[in-house]
Chain A
Amino acid sequence: MHERERDLVAQFMQRQIGRRELFRRMGQMGVGAAAASYLLNTASTQVLAADFDWQAHKGKTVTLLLNKHPYTDAMIANLDNFKTLTGMDVKYDVFPEDVYFDKVTAALSSQGTQYDAFMTGAYQTWQYGPAGWLVDMNQFISDPAYTAPNYNWEDMLPNLRASTAWSGVPGEALGGEGAKQWAVPWGFELNNLAYNKPLFDKLGLGVPKNLPELIETAAKITKDAGGPYGIGVRGSRSWASIHPGFLSAYSNYGQKDFSLADGKLSAAMNTPESKAFHDLWVKMIQDSGPKNWATYTWYQVGTDLGAGASGMIYDADILGYFMNGGDNKEAGHLAYAAIAPNPEATAPTPNVWIWSLGMNAFGQQQDAAWLFVQWASGTEHGLFGARKMDFVNPVRQSVWDDQEFKDRIAAKYPGYIEQYTTSAPGSKIYFTPQPLFFNLTTEWAASLQKMVAKEVPVSEGLDQLAESVNRQLKQAGLG
């Protein structure tokens, strides 16, 4: 590398100039984009390699189990960086989300050694951790022999670090004393509004600020838009229908899933306040939700917004993000806004879904696997993904502070950064951690279906749900 080019890359690595400026000046020196990318990648590797033996496991191969996701695409696109840095090889299997967690459960429960690391959600660690299938990452994170000095664990958003750590004691707070770091946050989504801006402008609608306004706006869209329905939310018979918009709004009303007394859990879904909230939510779906709501997963919610079949969604912010691009009919027409559903609340409280990286407790090369996890969750890869790929939302504050990333998002996704900034302080997992999470949350979704279908009145449905939940908690020795 010539001296002038090396200096230029060094300036970039020290954040004295931006990526655009780097490429502009490289261009002036006659260095093409491909060559500039190569130089940059080499320099990134050198920066990462400083003061830490990344080559400790040179020649080894780590095997990953991955979900088909833009985060996975970003990782695969940058994999050469890891290989150059460590001298290691990476093999991976990618499965669609429909079957992904079945594969993980089968791979881990059989105590197989095939996979060294894998993608997981934070909720899943409440099953995998107590079962003894996961490595407690604390042993690596806190040991300088295993972790590079520039890994900067504190740079990870604190609520996400806490949300992926749990003591295993049902009902005990996430990230509390003695919590084990069952996984490392990788990318995450919080739940807010994404809406069709031209449609809102055409109908002269303002962006709803709370749930009553949301219900009213959704009803107007359904009535006046001439086709599109008002609000897209998930409704399939699955725990995945509860955790996005529904629980974000529920927690904003100060409601909880369980109450804890003397170490015993009991259902808290049938309080008068919870019933009042459920009444509002059910009415919103009945009046302005999709006709086939009971079969709606994130996929249908997202594609309806992208196709112009719905006016807005209350779901993962990144779902709205992805629908604003590609060959979606409404690409470029979507905008984003934070929402605090309770009119008396001071700020939004979005529940979060965190795609995380976990390590197989039965894996034969955990040290090598940690090198991969460390690299994949590190700042450099986070910046690469956020700037060049769709690796949003980043889990590191330094990536959110990156001007190039912010400029890119602000240019194409109006309101996205603002909805994040407004919501981030209150965004975390609002569920009570306990090992029956999937049973009881799926049953909650089934109860909602019955209420929306008017098979059972809301109050009676919630009493039945609480009774069933309490019975199951008692049977499992948790209630």
Chain B
Amino acid sequence: MSAILSAKGHADRAPSPESKSPAVTVIHVSKTFRLPHQRYQTLKERALHPWRSRTFDVLRAVQDVSIEIPAGEFFGIVGRNGSGKSTLLKCLAGIYDIDEGELKINGRLSPFIELGVGFNPDLTARDNVIINGIMLGLSRKEAAERFDDVIAFAELEEFVDLKLKNYSSGMYVRLAFATAVQVDADIFLIDEVLAVGDANFQQKCFDELTRLQRAGRTMLFVTHDMGAIERFCDRAMLLERGRVVAVDDPASIARQYNQRNFRRTRQELGVADSELPPENPAAEVHDAVFESPTGEVAITSTQGEPCTVRMDVHFTEDVDDPIFAIALANESGQAVFSTNTDAQRIPTGHFAAGEDASVRLRFDNWLSPGRYQLIASVARAGFGADLFDAHMSNSIIVLADKPGGGLADLPHTLRIERG
């Protein structure tokens, strides 16, 4: 791949006066969509109802966003679904026109909002790579010259003349990523594209992106994956309802994102609604991890064996009978297990300001194989529990020697009787 990117024009990347100025400048940008109440899809409808009022809802997808991203930064954009992060990216990519404000892009931009857009399943890899290269801004000659390197990076040398419809999904994604990064771009816009492909290739993609970043390219990365934000980004921005909530270091943004999501997650989990964690809570969850039998942090757990969750809580004020709660959610966000000291009628007693507590949950792990997110929280006692703090960044992978069909693999016996 290095051959592709060290192609002419990019061999030396001595800092020019230009590269000192920000790669992307967003100044008070707003983008509004009009959503008609009654969408007239046809002329007939319009002709039949000429006087029906044409009202519409205004969806402010992006509101007054300002941000400056220096060249060479790996910048993350996070937010829930509908927070406007993809719309902002599409405005930056020049796919949507903005309504207000100003965008300044300093350098050539490669939007791979989605991988493999424009690939035609009836054409061969060769044709697709060249067509896509031209769409991304290369000349036909450049696209042809880089073809071999693209194929080498995708590790698809043997399948060059195979039609894409005969590709496996993994091969498809590899080809798409290799095609997208071949362009000599200065700024890459990436929207969740790396949530595909197998773990090895994902790693290879991230390695390539970090390598590009070190070579001075700017990355704008939209994702839900706080792990990826913390691992790769220099800085991140949290959006909510189209507005910037915070621009900060990745760890802080991930924490804020999790806190904001926590309320919604609790609702989904069927736990009583509560306010967002307060600014200076009386109790804080410092850590919540899966623990191995030797007391170390575990990232996997074998089915059928005991599993331990530990949460560390620090009290900054005197608290009587706090409620400790732990829940496990599967990858679709469904709570598969949830417990707390209140429901189990376990008295917790008095905690003084400055005191620390460790809460351990032990259970036999009969979850079906997969990844589970740990959600630990502490709340004030009483009806409509008042949340102090919540923590949800750790997850565990349950391993099993046989596939599980349901949410849980309960220990069981099967007996057949004849006659």
Binding partners A and B:
no
**B→A interface (CB under 8 Å):** none
**A→B interface (CB under 8 Å):** none
